[in-house]
Chains A and B, each alone.
Chain A
Amino acid sequence: MRKAILLTEWKAFYRNNIQVFFYLLLFFIGLYAIHYGYKEVERQNEVIAFVKAEEDRQFENTLKGFSADTTKPEGKRLFHEVAEPRYARLGHRYNTIFYPSSLAGLSLGQRDVFPYYHKLNSHSLYMQVFKNELVNPQKLLAGNLDISFIIVFLFPLLIIAFCYGLVSTEIENGTYSVLKTQPVAFSKIIFLKVSFRYLLTFALATLLCVDAFIYAGVPVQAALLWLLIVSLYLGFWHGVAFCIASLQKNSASNAMSLLALWLLFLVVLPSLTNAVSIYKYPVNPTHLSNGIRRIQLEETKDGLFKVASAFYQQYPWYNDRDTSMENLYKKGYAMAGIMGDEKAKSGVVRYYAQIRNRDGWTSQFNLISPAVQTQQLFNYLACTDITNYLNYHEEVERFHKRLVRFYVHPFLLNRQLSVKDYQHKPSFRWLPSVSYSRIGIGISFLAIWTALLWVGAHFILKRSN
C-alpha cells in the first residue's frame, strides 16, 4: 500500500509540468548559486594571494639589507632599513588574514561586509585596523545569491507549491471520500504524501550541496552537519505545510496561509528582530574617532620629554636616561603610539562589547525564528558569522602586540635587529573555529520545531477524522 501511494505520488509529480519546471528551475538556480558563492571565495583568495605575495617580496628584498655593502650610502640605507628597528617598525608591513573556510562559498554570511585582511606595521594599531574593502553598498544591500539563500528563501516556496493542495486537492477532485474508505488510515496516507514531497526536496537540496562539497573539498563531518541542518529546515517547512493541510481548508486558502507564514518567518520576524535589536542595543562608534587619529607629538624638547616621562613611568625598564633631543625625537612617536592605543583601548573594548551584546540578544531571539536560525547555523558552520570576525579582531590585537614586542622593544632598548631575529619574526596564524555548542543549541531548537509540527499535524488530522 505504502509503495502504491508513493508510486502514485511520483506519477502525479512527473506528470505535472509546472511542478517539474519549478523543480528544475530551482536546480539550475542552485547550480548558479554554487558557482557564484565559490567565485566570490576565489576572488577573495586571489586578493589574499596577492597581499601575501607582496609581503613575501617585501621581506625578500628587505633582508638583502643585511648583506648590503655598508661602506656605500645606498648599502648603509638598506642595512639601516632592516637592522634599525626605528625604520623597520614602520616600513615592515605584515598581513593578518581571515581565510575563508571550505564551506564559505555555500554561505557567504558577512564575508563581504567585513574586511578579511589587514596590513599592519608595529605603529598604533587603531590607526590601521579600522578600514573597509572597496565595495558597492547596493550590492551588499541586495545580498548574495549563495546556496544558503536558495535553501532558506526559495526551497520553502517550492515546498509550498508542492504541498498547498495535500488534502484539499483530494477534496476538490472528489477522491477524498474514496481515500477515507481505504484500509489505511487517512492520516497515514497524508503522512506518506508529505514524506514523499520531503524526500523529493531533500534529494534536490542534497544533490546541490554535494556538488558544492565535492567542488570545495568540504570535510565529511562539516558536510554531514550541513545536511542535517538542511534536512531539519526542510522538515520544518514540510511540517508547516502538513499542519496547514491537516486543517482541511481549500487550496487557495492553504496557499495563502502558507505564503503568509513564509512572509512571517522570512521577512516580518527577522526585519522586526533587527529593528528591535538596533533600538535596544545602540552601538556608537563615533567616540572612537580619537583612537584612529594619527599620532601627534609636540616636537619640542619639553613636549617630547613629557611623553617620554609618562611612558617611562609605566615602562621603567625602557628608561635609558638619555634626554637628548635626538633620542627623545627618535623614540617619541613609538612611545606615543603605544600610549595612544592604551588610551583608546577602553573605547574599542566598549564598542565590541556593544556589538557582542546586540549579537547575543539577536541570536537568542532568532532561536524561535527557524529561517534566520538556519541561516545563522549555516554561517556558524561556514565560519562567516560575526562571532568569528570578533574573534579575528581579538587575534589581530594580540598579533599587533607581538609586532610591538618584535620591533619597538629592541628599539627602545637601543638594540639592532639581526638575521637571527628575523628567523623568528611574528607571523599571523589563526583559523576561524566552528562553535559546536551554538550549532548544537540551534539544531536542537530546529529539531523541536520540526517535531512539534509533524506530530501536531498528525494529531490534528487524526482528530478531525
Chain B
Amino acid sequence: MIFAIAKQEITGALRDRRITGFLVILFLLLCLSVYISQVKYSQMAAYRYQAQKENREKWLLQNAKHPHMAAHFGNFAFKPVTPLNWIDYGVDNYTGTYVYMEPHRQNDFVFTPAQEQNASIRFGELSPSLILQVFVPLLIIFMCFAAITKERENTVLKLLVAQGISLQHLIAGKLLGYFTIVLVLLIPLLAGTFLTGFTINDGIQDMSDVLNRLALLFLFYLLYFFILTSFTVWISAIMRTSRASMLLSLSLWILWVVVIPKVSANLGADNHPLLSNEAFAVAIKDDIKKGIDGHNPDVERKQQLIAATLKQYGVDTVSKLPVNIDGIIMQKAEEYSSVVYDKHFEGVQEMIKKQNEPGRLASFIDPYLAIRNISMSLSLTDVFSHIHFQKAAEQYRRDFVQFMNDDMALHPKSSNWDEYKIDGDTYSQITPFTYQPPLVNISLRQVRIEWVALLAGLLFLLLLIRFTVTKIPVV
C-alpha cells in the first residue's frame, strides 16, 4: 500500500508543471554552479601551485648568504586547494590565501578573496552547496506543502480513511514518494558532480579520505533532505489548509536560512569581541619584551642564557665558546616568541570558537545551520580547517628558522655575518612546504554538535509523526 501511494505521488508531482519547472531550473542551476565552481577552484589551484613552485625556486636560487639573512629571505605557504573545496566554499572567501614566513614573527594571512569583490559578495555566491542547502529545501516545500492538506481539501482523505488506509501508511507513502523524487534528482547529479571534482587534486589529500568525506557528505545531505521532507509533510498533516501549511513551511525556511544564522553569528560576535590587530600586536610585543609573567625581560633572559652557555662549556668569555652564541640567542628568542605567539593565538582561536558557539547550538532548531557547518567541515572549508592550515604553516616556519639558527650556532669561527655564508646545498636541505589536511574523523569531531542535532532532529520527527498521527483531523 505504501508503495502504491508513493508511486501515485511521484506521478502526480511529475505531472505538475510548476514542480517539473522547478526541477529543471534547479538542475540547470546545479550544473552551472558545478561548472563555475570547478573552473574557479581549478584556476585557484593552478595559481597557487605555480606560485608555490616559483617561490620554492627563488628560495633555492637565492645568493649565498648568512643563514639568518637567508631565513629572512623567507618562504611562502599558499593555501592549497583540496578536492572537495569547490562543493562548499565555506569561509574560503573570508580567509587569507597565503602567508610570508620569516624569523621573529608570525605574519598575517593576506589577500582575502572578499576584499577583491564589492559588497554584493555578502549576498552569497552560487555554489553547489548553496543549491543543496538553500534551494533544494524550497523544492521540497513546494512539492510537499499540500501533501495531506490537498487530500483533506478535496475530501479524499475521508474516503481514503474510510477505505481502511491508515494515516500512518498514507504519510509514509507520501514521504517515500517525495523523497524518491529528491533522490532521483540528486543521486545521479551528486554522484556525477562529485566524481568530476576529483580532477582538482594535486595529491595533497589522501584519496581514501576524500572518498570517506564524499560518502559522509552524501549521507548527511540525504539526512537533511529526509528531515525537511518529513517535516513539511508533517506540517501539511497538522495544518487545516494548504495555504497555512505553505506559509508556515516558508516562514520556517526564511527563519532557518536567513534569520537564525545571522542573528546567532551577530550575538556571538557581540558577546565575545575580538581584539584589534594593533592591541594584539602590542600585547605580543610586551610579552616578548617584558616576559610572559612580566618579570622576565628579554635583556635579562639573554644574560642568563649567555651565563648558562658559558657555564655549560666551562669558559669565561663568549669568544672562547666553541659555538656561535648569536645563533643560540637567536634560537632561544625564537622559542620564547613562539610560546608568546601560541598563548595569544590560542586566545583568539578560543574567542572565535565562543563566537561560533550560538550558531552551533542553534543547529538543534535549525537544520540548515547543522548541514552548513557539517558540509564545510567535510569540504575542508570551515574555520577549523583554515586554522589547521595556519598551524601547519607556522610549524614549517619554526622548523626552517630553527634549522637556520642551528646552522648559525654550529659555525663558531664565523660569527662575523660577512664571512660565513650558506648556499644552495644548505637551502635544499629545507624541504618544501607540504600540507596534510586533517583526516575525516578529526573534521567530524569538530561538528559533533551539528550531526548529533541532525540525528536528534530525525528521531524527534519520527516520534512526532508516530504520536501525532492519530490526532490528525480527517475532515
User: Which A positions have Cβ atoms within 8 angstroms of B?
Assistant: 36, 39, 43, 47, 50-51, 54, 109-110, 113-115, 117, 119, 130-145, 149, 153-154, 157, 251-252, 255-256, 259, 263, 266-268, 270-279, 282-290, 292-294, 296, 298-300, 303, 354-355, 358-359, 362-363, 366, 371-372, 375-376, 379, 384-387, 389
B383, A275: Cβ atoms under 8 Å? Answer: no
With A263-B138, A266-B123 as contacts: A362 and B118 at CB distance below 8 Å: yes
Stretch of B108-116, B162-170, B224-232, B293-301 contacting A (4+ beta carbons < 8 Å): B108-116
Q: What is the CA–CA distance of A51 and B100 in the complex, to the nearest angstrom? A: 24
Tell me the chain B residues, 67-112 only, with Cβ under 8 Å from chain A.
Answer: 69, 72-74, 76, 78, 90-91, 93-98, 100, 102, 108-112
With A279-B40, A285-B97 as contacts: A136 and B258 at CB distance below 8 Å: no
Residue of A at shortest CB range from B246?
A: A252
Which chain A positions have C-beta within 8 A of B47? 284, 286
Q: Taking the nearest CB of chain A, how far is it from the CB of B442, in angstroms?
A: 18
With A140-B94, A252-B243 as contacts: A132 and B265 at CB distance below 8 Å: no
Interface centre among A259, A270, A286, A290 (most CB of B within 10 A): A286
Is B207 positioned at the interface, with any CB of A under 8 Å from its CB?
no
Task: Fill in one digit per residue for B26-64: 1 if any A CB lies within 8 Å of its CB, else 0.
Answer: 000100110011011001000110110001001000110
Tell me the chain B residues, 130-147 only, with Cβ under 8 Å from chain A.
Answer: 130, 134, 138, 142
Q: What is the CA–CA distance of A381 and B154 in the complex, to the nearest angstrom? A: 54
Selected from A132, A138, A375, A379, the residue in CB contact (under 8 A) with B109 is: A132
Is B250 positioned at the interface, with any CB of A under 8 Å from its CB?
yes
A110, B119: Cβ atoms under 8 Å? Answer: yes
Top 9 nearest A-B pairs (CB, nearest first) are: A142-B265, A270-B123, A286-B51, A137-B91, A285-B111, A137-B94, A275-B126, A47-B276, A140-B94
Q: What is the CA–CA distance of A190 and B123 in the complex, to the nearest angstrom? A: 33
Task: Fill in one digit per residue for B242-285: 1 if any A CB lies within 8 Å of its CB, else 0.
Answer: 11001100100010001101111110111001111111101000
Selected from B51, B116, B383, the residue in CB contact (under 8 A) with A283 is: B116
**Number of inter-chain CB pairs below 8 Å:** 239
Q: Taking the nearest CB of chain B, how far is it from the CB of A299, in angstroms?
A: 6
B262, A117: Cβ atoms under 8 Å? Answer: no
Which chain A positions have C-beta within 8 A of B100? 289, 292-294
Which chain A positions have C-beta within 8 A of B126? 268, 271-272, 274-275
A43, B37: Cβ atoms under 8 Å? Answer: no
Q: Taking the nearest CB of chain A, how far is it from the CB of B375, in angstroms?
A: 13
With A136-B383, A285-B111, A289-B100 as contacts: A47 and B279 at CB distance below 8 Å: yes
Q: Taking the nearest CB of chain B, how far is it from the CB of A256, in angstroms?
A: 7
Residue of A at shortest CB range from B93?
A: A141
A149, B98: Cβ atoms under 8 Å? Answer: no
A298, B63: Cβ atoms under 8 Å? Answer: yes
With A117-B278, A271-B124, A289-B55 as contacts: A358 and B117 at CB distance below 8 Å: yes
A286, B116: Cβ atoms under 8 Å? Answer: no
B355, A359: Cβ atoms under 8 Å? Answer: no
A251, B116: Cβ atoms under 8 Å? Answer: no
Is B437 positioned at the interface, with any CB of A under 8 Å from its CB?
no
Selected from A138, A153, A276, A283, the residue in CB contact (under 8 A) with B356 is: A138
Residue of B at shortest CB range from A33?
A: B266
Selected from B43, B63, B383, the residue in CB contact (under 8 A) with A282 is: B43
A358, B116: Cβ atoms under 8 Å? Answer: yes
A274, B120: Cβ atoms under 8 Å? Answer: yes
Known pairs A131-B110, A142-B261, A274-B123; list 5 more (Cβ under 8 Å).
A134-B280, A134-B348, A138-B359, A139-B356, A145-B266
Which chain B positions have C-beta within 8 A of A285? 97-98, 110-111, 116
Interface centre among A115, A135, A362 (most CB of B within 10 A): A135
Q: Taking the nearest CB of chain B, how far is it from the CB of A376, in angstroms?
A: 7
A372, B277: Cβ atoms under 8 Å? Answer: no
Which chain B positions have C-beta within 8 A of A277? 117
Which chain B positions have C-beta within 8 A of A372? 120, 123
B118, A252: Cβ atoms under 8 Å? Answer: no
Is B405 positioned at the interface, with any CB of A under 8 Å from its CB?
no
B280, A271: Cβ atoms under 8 Å? Answer: no
Is B417 positioned at the interface, with any CB of A under 8 Å from its CB?
yes
